[in-house]
Amino acid sequence: MADHQLSLRAQLLDCLTIGRVILSIILFFIGSFVLDYTWRPSYPSSIPMVGHGRGLVNTIRNIANYMFHYREWVIEGYEKHSKSDRAFIIPASLSRPHDIVLPRSQTAWLLERPDHIVSAHEAHNDVLYSDYNLLGRENARTTWYNRVIHKFLARNLPVLVPGLDQEVSHSVDVAFGAGTTPDDYKEVNLWNAWLGVVPQVTNRMLVGRDICRNEEFNKSMVAFVDAFVLNCLILNLIPKILHPVFGRLVTTPNWWHWRKATKHSVPVIEKRLRDFARKEAGDPAYDSWTPPEDFITWTIRLAKAENATAELDPYTISKRLLPIQFAAIHTTVLTGHGVLLDLLSSDPADGVLEGLREEAARVLAEDGEDGQDGQDGQGGGRRWTKNALARLYRLDSAIRESQRVSNFSATLVERKVVAPEGLTNPAEGWHVPQGAYLTFNLQGLHHDPELYDRPEEYDAFRFSRPREAYEALPAEKKDPEEGLRLKKLGMVTTGDAHLAFGHGRHACPGRFFVAHELKMVIAHLLLNYDLRHLTGERPRPKWVGGTIIPPTEATIQIKKRKAATAA
């Protein structure tokens, strides 16, 4: 009997050759893909499709070419279909159904659909694989962190600006200016410099001054964001049916980075909870205590107001920070990186840097406030206020124009049909089932010559010229309606031709914070440093499917200004 078992085992081992194992794995993946394909929502044949067309064979061709031709397909679809007010279908990655890209004329219709018909939250979760990247379904599916930001962030910006200004001054000088002198230019890697600034400034708003400069905490959050992006690329290539296994495997580093961060964040959260408890208990030592304005305080306030006791757990609060860390660090670094490349690639004869520097110095002198000596180890000087930042029309325009011409996504404003009965498009008459995805063509809209004069050109003051001309008019010649129209040219005002922050009721709730942050960083650079224009062509990003890979190797030349302005 024993000899028979040994013989059987030997025969089985002989069958398990490397070639057969590899073939079995390939067949398993093909079978998984076929199952995924059969379960995807089907779209009407009346909706045209770019790429290689429909059917199983063409679907395989689309998937094979998705990584290299997605952006080209987006541009093709805009010219062939969107400009004729027609929707079109664009192939998706291996793990997702195709997207229906709607024309600009249907923006209002889609965004007016209620959340129980089309869901932004469900779409974002699917696109970002949040059930895995955000450490589990419970943290991915909650909208709690979004509610906190919506309720508290914008109204607290005037209070936040002084603290943010401190972090901007400190982080920019460390990341960009360390070792520079007024005599010689120093070469700085632009991507790494932005990664040294944005996490610190962002975390002043999220976790407060106690740990926003903690190097290990910030590095853990940057590593979490990097892993998040990499995981999205990997899971794009794996059939969805296999995600319950592979999703947990590839996102293991996310847990590690979060755990490292909690060593610093959880003690701060626990102390804040104790401080609130002592204040509420009437402790005399806390009679004059007021909590710092940051996300930790805001989430505690909202949880207490709604008796949401589960949201008062320190580790839960630390997890609620993660989607904001991803959104705030990733997109802000991409945007800031693109803005400086665009500014430094502009023609020096146009005087863009000088125009921005003049505006920043003038507005800071007129609307800034005096800093306090010794605060956070910094000397006095003029400091930014919310009102002063709002008057930086040129800088606002330069950032918005970079968002337009150097967009970091080809499509945006994703929605998923969640209604069991599906969705009918009244303009074109087609009907799509539950599970369908709809989006808009960011690449085409932002580069349409019918919407923007010379659309491929970076014109830093494109949106500020009419605003400055209006402000220069005598009061009696100003038309209030024209003033309101021009105000909508600001970078935070979304529209059906400006989708960098999304649009509609689900537009990015943190865009006002991001605008303040970017303006303060760039203004500080211009007022305190000289930046040398780039020679040659602007470094260009690469595209992998719908994901942009920025030119992270790009460097700039920077030195201290001889006549720097404290800011």
* pLDDT values of the chain reduced to their tens digit, one per residue, 567 residues: 555 555 655 555 566 567 656 766 666 666 777 777 777 889 999 999 998 888 778 877 888 888 889 999 999 999 999 999 999 999 988 888 899 999 999 999 999 999 999 999 999 999 999 999 999 999 999 999 999 999 999 999 999 999 999 999 999 999 998 888 888 999 999 999 999 999 999 999 999 998 999 999 999 999 999 999 999 989 988 888 889 999 999 999 999 999 999 999 999 999 999 999 999 999 999 999 999 999 999 999 999 999 999 999 999 999 999 999 999 999 999 999 999 999 999 999 999 999 999 999 999 999 988 876 444 444 457 899 999 999 999 999 999 999 999 998 999 999 999 999 999 999 999 999 999 999 999 999 999 999 999 999 999 999 999 999 998 898 888 888 888 888 889 999 999 999 999 999 999 999 999 999 999 999 999 999 999 999 988 999 999 888 889 999 999 999 999 865 555
The count of residues in the chain is 567
CA distance 66 to 544: 8
CA distance 125 to 102: 20
* DSSP conformational letter for 530: E
Which domains does the chain show, CATH number per domain? 137-360+368-407+449-496+500-560 (1.10.630.10)
Residues 6 or more apart in contact with residue 62 via CB below 8 angstroms: 51, 52, 91
Q: What is the pLDDT of residue 59?
A: 79
- Please tell me the distance from the alpha carbon of residue 421 to that of residue 432, in angstroms, as a whole number: 9
Alpha carbons 304 and 288: distance in angstroms, whole number: 20
- Whether residue 15 is annotated as binding a ligand: the answer is no
Q: Residue 404: which of 360, 454, 465, 354 has the closest Cα?
A: 454
Asked if 443 and 74 touch (Cβ cutoff 8 Å), the reply is yes
d(CA 407, CA 57): 32
Q: Is 403 exposed, middle or buried (0-12, 13-18, 19+ CB in 10 A)?
A: buried
At residue 320's C-alpha, the angle toward residues 253 and 170, to 5°, is 80
Q: Write down the pTM of the prediction.
A: 0.92
Task: Using alpha carbons, list the distances in angstroms from residue 180 to 8, 172, 174, 524, 562.
Answer: 73, 12, 10, 15, 11
Sign of CA dihedral 188, 194, 199, 204: positive
If phi > 0 it is left, if psi is from -120 to 50 it is alpha, else beta; for residue 454 that is: left
Q: How many CB atoms lie within 10 A of CB 213?
A: 18
